[in-house]
A and B are shown apart, each in its own frame.
Chain A
């Protein structure tokens, strides 16, 4: 269970990017984080695994308080938090397999990772994850030979290799076409279900989010302005999050159309 209490963040002398964020994510729940660019979504998930340091507040994963850990200790905890990135963030000049195995780095001493002497169990698991994401035939290709969707699958396999308790997903579909986007979201969803993993997914595409997540948190100007089931995401709420717009076109449910014209 992830518990965030009164999280605040500002960069140096800039404005507050996150103002007093609190919420909990129970095990196995998939949370979609929506909101306009600059609402603080990216900062929020990067605070969780401390890629950036929060200014104030508590972040607790199970019984560990992440926000107060020293730089050395946070590395141990990062192993349990898988992260998937917008531009895949693979190391392009390494092989697909090395990219997947890099998910094990936090568990290995330097010399083993340097010599690529991974434990047999790790290699076995890595093959299994590659099979799961459908890339078993590409294991020894260089990552830059793959297409966008395939690269994102490698990114997912890398996060899985960490054997995580929580997934942080940053705009997984922003660089993909609509069909591939749905495939990727479906893959993330089904993996979370299989392993009863909880996940926080930053996502721009509201209909896509509503289709694949259990719960939606709307962020606006660094504050939570909505927290509830996807079905509760009405036009009013969207207006509160994004500002005025004709929302009828983004609604996936035909039934909701009768709510009439947006203001």
Chain B
């Protein structure tokens, strides 16, 4: 009897679950349709229908790329590389303490310090580097510095989040063992935690560097230095052959950096 009842209850639950799943899909569909209508309210469909013609026209104007323009891009590319690398360094240096303040097992206070560290991480992660750059250009003036700091600020959250997760996964008895020798808090971090998270830390840093190369190519659009500045000025004068060349250079850089970071990570791990 008891068994039968249990079976019935269980059956009822799956049925309800099935209804909830269907309801969920239905709600998503409705939401999508609503959003679509809301979004396309101001769309001028003539432009959309005209797009293939525009595209053909644009491609016609973009090719061939203006190869002779390339000698102007070397310096810009070097700047872009510096923005990404120095920005990553800055972000990593700042993220390191934040991660330790955010990890449950190393934070000095779960109630006061940890929420602040998590807030820093969330703010940094939610705001794209281009927005940081936009802000910093108005504060510091245009230039590479704004780009470096923008990349750094965006990287804090990314690096700190992954790092604090790996700190929380550290082997607890090793930490206990070091504590039991009478080591201070910093000694425990230095001896028990850092050796354990070091591989993850290096991996995260290189991963972020790779992403930052990609992001730093466009920071120039808002004046924060690098190859994006040239992209912006070529776009402004509608010099499409130059734009093509810049895009090709950016693509090549991204591919090379991806290859490099994959190689280095292979070496380290």
Contacts and interface: CB of A to CB of B under 8 A. Distances in A.
Direct contact of A and B (CB under 8 A): yes
B160 interface: no
A157 interface: no
Contact of A110 (B173, B177, B186): B186
Contact of B182 (A77, A89, A155): A77
Interface string B148-192: 000000000000000000000001011011111111101100111
Contacts of B177: 83, 85, 89-91, 155, 158
B196 interface: yes
B52 interface: no
B182 A162 contact: yes
A10 B183 CA distance: 26
Nearest to B187: A105
A89 B176 CA distance: 8
A103 interface: yes
B46 to A, nearest CB: 64
B195 A106 contact: no
B178 A105 contact: yes
Which of A75, A82, A86 neighbours the largest number of chain B CB atoms within 10 Å of its CB? A75
A104 B184 CA distance: 11
Interface residues of B, number: 21
A79 interface: yes
B198 interface: yes
Nearest to A104: B181
B195 to A, nearest CB: 4
Contacts of A113: 183, 187, 190-191
B192 A91 contact: yes
Given A90-B174, A105-B191, A83 B186 contact: no
A158 B183 CA distance: 13
B215 to A, nearest CB: 32
B202 to A, nearest CB: 12
A180 to B, nearest CB: 19
B182 A105 contact: yes
A93 B197 CA distance: 10
Given A110-B186, A114-B190, A91 B180 contact: no
B183 A85 contact: no
Contacts of B176: 51, 85, 89
B267 to A, nearest CB: 17
A84 B88 CA distance: 41
Interface in A72-109: 75-79, 81-83, 85-87, 89-94, 98, 102-108
A49 interface: yes
B182 A106 contact: yes
A105 to B, nearest CB: 4
A90 B181 CA distance: 12
A108 B198 CA distance: 23
B181 A106 contact: yes
Contacts of A105: 178, 181-184, 187, 191
Contacts of B195: 91-94
Contacts of A102: 178, 181, 183, 191
B180 A76 contact: no
A151 to B, nearest CB: 11
A78 B174 contact: no
A86 B195 CA distance: 21
Given A75-B184, A110-B184, A110-B186, A91 B179 contact: no
A233 B164 CA distance: 49
B173 A162 contact: no
B187 A91 contact: no
A113 B192 CA distance: 12
A162 B181 contact: yes
A104 B182 CA distance: 8
A115 to B, nearest CB: 10
Interface of A: 49, 51, 75-79, 81-83, 85-87, 89-94, 98, 102-108, 110, 113-114, 155, 158, 162, 168
Q: Which 4 A-B pairs have the closest CB atoms?
A: A106-B182, A105-B183, A89-B177, A78-B182
22 contacts: A51-B176, A79-B182, A82-B181, A83-B180, A86-B173, A91-B191, A91-B195, A91-B196, A92-B171, A94-B191, A98-B191, A102-B178, A103-B181, A105-B184, A106-B181, A110-B190, A113-B183, A113-B187, A155-B177, A158-B177, A158-B181, A162-B181
Given A75-B184, A91-B195, A106-B182, 14 more contacts: A75-B183, A78-B181, A83-B177, A85-B176, A87-B173, A89-B174, A91-B178, A93-B199, A105-B178, A105-B184, A105-B187, A108-B187, A155-B177, A168-B180
